[in-house]
Each structure stands twice: as C-alpha cells, then as structure tokens.
Amino acid sequence: MALLIIAVCIILLVLLITWGKTNAFLAFLLVSLLAGALLGIPLNQLAGAVEKGMGDTLGSLTAVIMMGAMLGKLVAESGAAQQIASSLMKVFGARYIQWALMITGFVIGIPLFYNVGFVLMVPLIFSVAYQYKLPAVYIGLPMLASLSVTHGYLPPHPAPAALVNQFNASMGLTLMYGLIVAIPAIIVAGPVFSRTLKNIKSVPLQVFQPAVIPEDKLPGLFNSLVSAMLPVVLLIATTVLPLLLPGAEVIRNVSAFFGNAMIVMLIALVIATFSLGRRSGMSMKKIMQVYESAVKDVAMILLIIAGAGAFKEVLTVSGVSNNIAGVLEGWPLHPLVLAWIIACIIRVCIGSATVAGLTTAGIVAPLVVQGRADPNLMVLSIGAGSLMFSHVNDGGFWLFKEYFNLSVKDTLRSWSLMETIVAIVGLIAVMILNVFVGR
C-alpha cells in the first residue's frame, strides 16, 4: 500500500507541475505533506519533518550554490567568458570551429548556470555563423551540449551539488569522475552528432546579434581561465593530494578544510572579486550589485531543492524508503541503471532536469545507503538520466527553438536528440567507469 501511495504522489507531482502549471517548490511541499499524512506520519510531527528535510538539504548547499552563481555572473560581466571564447577561436581557426565552441562551452559552463551560459554564448554562435557562413545549428550544438552536460553532471551546479549532499558523496571525486564521463558525452552529442544537422536552415533573429566588449577592455586569457576554473582546480587538488600522500596527517587535515565545497567557492569568489572585478575597473559597489543579481537568478532553484529535500525526509521518516529499497533490490537491474531510468521517466514527464534528479534521489537513496552503488557514480547516473529527451514541456527546448528561429520539428531533430544522446552516452560512460572504481 505504501508503494502505491508513493506512486500516486509522484504522478500527482508530475500533474501539478505539467498540467496544473504549479510552481515546482509549491508542488513539492503539497505532495510532501499529502504523502506524509497518507503514510501515517502523525500530524503533529509532519510539519517538523518537512522543515527538517528542507533545512538539512539547504544547510550545506545554500552558500555553495549562491557563491557559484556569483562567480559565474562575474565571469560573464567582466568579459572573462568573452576572452576565453575569442582566444579559443583564434587558436582553433575556422576548420575546427566546432571544437573551439565546444571547449568554450565546457569551460564557461562549469561556473555559469545553464540559462546564463546559453544567453551569453548564443550571440557568439551567431556571430561565428555569420562570419564563416556556416549553419548556426551545426556549429552551435557542440557548445550547447557542453553547457547542458556541465549543468546536469558537474558540481557546483545545483542538482549535482544537491545529489552529492544527499548521497554523502565526495564533491571532489564526483567532479573528477564527472569530467571523465562528460568528455565522451559532449563529443558524441556535439561535433559528431551535429554533422547530421548541416542541412537544417536557421536564420537567427537580428535582435540576438552580439553586443561585445572591446578587446582592449577584456581581462587577460590566463587571468580569465584561472578565475573561471579555480573551483575545479581546488576541488581536484584537495582530493588528489591525500591520495598521493596517504601518510601525511597535516596534508589530509588541510585538504579536508580547503576541499570543503563552501571554502572552495569562497576562496574562488574572493580571488575573482579582485582578479576579474576590481582589475577590470569595476567598483566594489558594482561588483556587489552583480552578486545580488546572481542571487536573484538562483533563488527559485534553491527553493525547489528545499522542496525535494522535504519529500525525501517524508519518505525516510515514514519508513517507506526501506520498502522502496526492498522492492528495487529485487529488480534485475544494476542500481545505477535503475536510477537512470527513473530519472529519464520523470524528466520526460516533467521537463525539469533539476526536479527529475532530486525526485529520483529521494527514491533510490536507500540503495546508496545500503552500499549497492558508488555514491559518486550515482550522482552522475541520475544527472545523465535527468537530461533525457528535452521536449515541449522544457523551457530549454523553447529557448533553443526561439533563439535559433527553428520549427518544432527541427528543434526535436536537433536539440531533443542531442539531449537524448547526452543521457545515453553518459550512462554508458558511468557503467564503464563503475567497472574500475565502483563497489
């Protein structure tokens, strides 16, 4: 009976978000309260369970996500993103233009949230398309595949960071594994797949012609790269050092402190404030305004994560998590594949990668607790599944369609298939990696 209640609640969640057009945070709250009541949690404890779930989930994530948004916004506003893009274009030249855009999207996508990266990078795609007289979809999709993969796979992006927290995974190891998984997914979904799209006619709207910063006003390439990639470098360094020097107690303690995601983001943000902000001529007041704007951009994402945390707590307090684990344990599927399938189904139904990932985490968390799957790989498997087949219920689908001025048919043929390839190749890469590092 408990499993039937959970199934009905998940269906209700899907209907509230899709058919009812309800805000995802409110939908999670309503469904969490209903599920808790139906599963027998005493009413005098139900509100407390929901609050605890929200608090536990956001406790270690709020600072990381907020500072990640601030850093990404500063990378964009200071011209560092433009500098990285233009420098890579010069290095790769016209012949390998797709690879230049793909690498740009990957580098920029790590600190930038997807929507910000999309709006920032699309004008660059259009300017390259006009300059080299190449089809916009053909040269643009590799960059957008990079942005999508970093959004779905890699912390400190909201969903992967939240999954790391829920599964007690390692932020550094998840990032390292994520980079390994991301590369083949981006290459196959980007330069390889886009070769089939050369005949798609796209006439981007003139309103999206880029407004660029003059080159003499841009920060240097080295400064731009270091400032944008510093969180990645710090997380990898603090993860690898204790492995290289296992007997050094001091190294282990220092790495534990500086490897904390909040500390990493704080260090990166403080350095970028001066290396990108002040050095580019911004006043501290202007920099703080950029940061305030970034916080507004991700406020609703944090609320959605909090709502998902409430739902997970209700499943845990009611004891139904153990029932779910018992049922899933009997399925003839590897836990990583099972989690990927669940994330795919929810993604296709709801349209939101973030909601799909967080909802799946609440369902499969017991499998990770029981040690049946590597928590770091589980983050990546769910992240891959959460990107499956973006279509008409996903804002990203319409963003791509309108900016590139495409028909729905051509958007499905290009954007939707690209997201599907990213999801499938991501799972394959995760399963291969599981052979070497999995439990």
Whats the size of the chain, residue-wise? 439
What are the two backbone dihedrals, phi and then psi, of residue 396, each rounded to the nearest 5 degrees?
Answer: -60, -35
Query: In the predicted model, is pLDDT for residue 327 greater than 80?
Result: no
Q: CA separation (Å) from 337 to 373, 390, 423?
A: 10, 19, 12
Measured in whole angstroms, the distance separating CA 262 from the mean position of its chain's CA atoms is: 17
Q: What percent of the chain has pLDDT over 90?
A: 41
Mean pLDDT of 64-90: 86
- Contact present, 389 and 416 (Cβ < 8 Å): yes
User: Would you state the pLDDT for residue 68?
Assistant: 84
Domain that holds residue 264: 2-437
Q: Mind listing the pLDDT tens digit for each residue in 147-182?
A: 999 999 998 788 899 999 989 999 999 999 999 999
Measured in whole angstroms, the distance separating CA 437 from the mean position of its chain's CA atoms is: 23
Number of domains in the chain: 1
Report how many helices (DSSP H) and strands (DSSP E) the chain contains, helices first.
22, 0
User: Would you state the pLDDT for residue 179?
Assistant: 95
User: Would you state the pLDDT for residue 247?
Assistant: 67
pLDDT confidence bin for 216, thresholds 50/70/90: confident
Burial of 374 (0-12, 13-18, 19+ CB in 10 A): buried
User: Would you state the pLDDT for residue 391?
Assistant: 87
Structure tokens at 31: 């469904």
pLDDT confidence bin for 289, thresholds 50/70/90: very high
If you average pLDDT over every residue of the chain, what do you get?
87
Mean pLDDT of 426-439: 92
Mean pLDDT of 69-77: 86
Mean pLDDT of 301-326: 81
Burial of 240 (0-12, 13-18, 19+ CB in 10 A): middle
User: Would you state the pLDDT for residue 79?
Assistant: 87
User: Would you state the pLDDT for residue 238?
Assistant: 86
Query: In the predicted model, is pLDDT for residue 210 greater than 80?
Result: no
User: Would you state the pLDDT for residue 204?
Assistant: 65
| Continuous H helices in 154-260 | 158-166, 171-187, 193-194, 221-244, 249-258
Query: In the predicted model, is pLDDT for residue 392 greater than 80?
Result: no
Nearest residue to 216 via CA among 120, 281, 270? 281
User: Would you state the pLDDT for residue 329?
Assistant: 66
Nearest residue to 339 via CA among 310, 311, 372? 372
